[in-house]
Amino acid sequence: MTNMFKYTKITYIMTPPSLGTGSGRAVEVCFSRSAKKATSGKGTVVRHFIGDVDGCEIMSETILERDGKVLASSWD
């Protein structure tokens, strides 16, 4: 068993109508053998963007997994 933790933070972004419409997501994933390091972003970090991300953050979702099983999930 590898005991690898994966912490994902998905930030949902929307552009106000006065600046043009658009929406997107910023996704940050951190991998580590320690849950503490994974949640603090001190492991291997991968970031990517989907859609239009030049707007305001409206909400975010965080997911902590160990070996593919979800340990915790929350919305902010």
3-state SS assignment for residue 17: helix
pTM across the whole model: 0.86
Q: Would you write out the chain's pLDDT as a tens digit for each of its 76 residues?
A: 578 999 999 999 998 877 777 899 999 999 999 999 999 999 999 999 998 888 889 999 999 999 999 999 999 9
- List the chain domain ranges: 5-67
Q: Give residue 52's pLDDT.
A: 84
**Rounded (to 5) percent helix, strand, coil in the chain:** 10, 65, 25
Q: Give residue 24's pLDDT.
A: 92
